[in-house]
Amino acid sequence: MVERWWPNTHTFYLPCGELGITPRDFTVLTGIGIGIGEPIIFEDFYTEYGKALTIFPAMEFKDYEKGCISFAHLETFLDHIRVDFNDKGNTKVIFRAFMLLYFGGVLFGNSKSWARLELIGPLAILENMTYTINFGSAILGHLYYCLDQASKQEVKYIGGLFQLIEYHCYEYCQIGHHILIDNRLDDFYPRMLAWKTTRRKFTGNKAKQHLALMRQQLDLRTINNIQWDPFRNMKDALKREVVIAGNISRKRVLLQYPFGGYEWYLGDRCWA
């Protein structure tokens, strides 16, 4: 799918037409709302080594690089042998370490070994529950940005929540997925839960995941064998965040992505 991503329109180009990851797709698959809350703000206050030490006092210089902290150092705070989990004085640093790993390694990742210290800003807001942050827009915008880079072969691997691409392909193109114990997809929200390992009947043969075969199957997609609206019968279609994301999906909107940029979502190209 990444090979078919077009940066100018933020859609996948298939023989039968264009296919995009809409805000509604994102919310249904992940359970994370879009358009709810304030824009995410990334601050560079903690990007200096000395300032970062006020958050992670035990950090050595080898664990710091150009405003980033190493995953290896963050993981030490999740080791019960090194850190006393029962000491309430460690609660904040454990929370920050875990969330930086999650943000820097999954949601806003652009490196396999480092998390950007600008992410501490949103963590402080989460800690204090100051206000609601529109994380969904930033996560989807960052995925668009990472797909743009990958399609231009500017990076060695895809950052961001790239797993979403796989589940999106399962739902729309209906190829390459594992056989499930039942077809009750509409009972699950977030929809990713329907594809979890415990619901697989068996892992399938390796040929199913063969790259050449997947390319061939994508070439064979037609307007009639793509599921253009896989979520139309889902039981949670009227959830507030799903309705809001659905309304946004019909429009052209700017999606904020981390560290000072925006990406267009073109609803007129993605929504019939």
Tokens describing residue 147: 């797909």
pLDDT at 246 over 90: yes
What does DSSP say about strands 261-266 and 200-202: parallel, antiparallel, or unpaired?
unpaired
Tell me the pLDDT tens digit for each residue of 138-176: 999 999 999 999 988 877 778 889 999 999 999 999 888
């950052």: which residue's tokens? 159
To the question of pTM greater than 0.75 for the whole model, the response is yes
- The pLDDT of residue 272 is 56
Residues 90 and 43 sit within 8 Å (Cβ to Cβ): no
Chain centroid to Cα 75, Å, comes to: 21
Q: Which among 40, 24, 47 is positioned nearest to 131, based on CA atoms?
A: 40
* Across 81-92, average pLDDT: 80
Query: What element of type H or E holds 147?
Result: helix 135-151
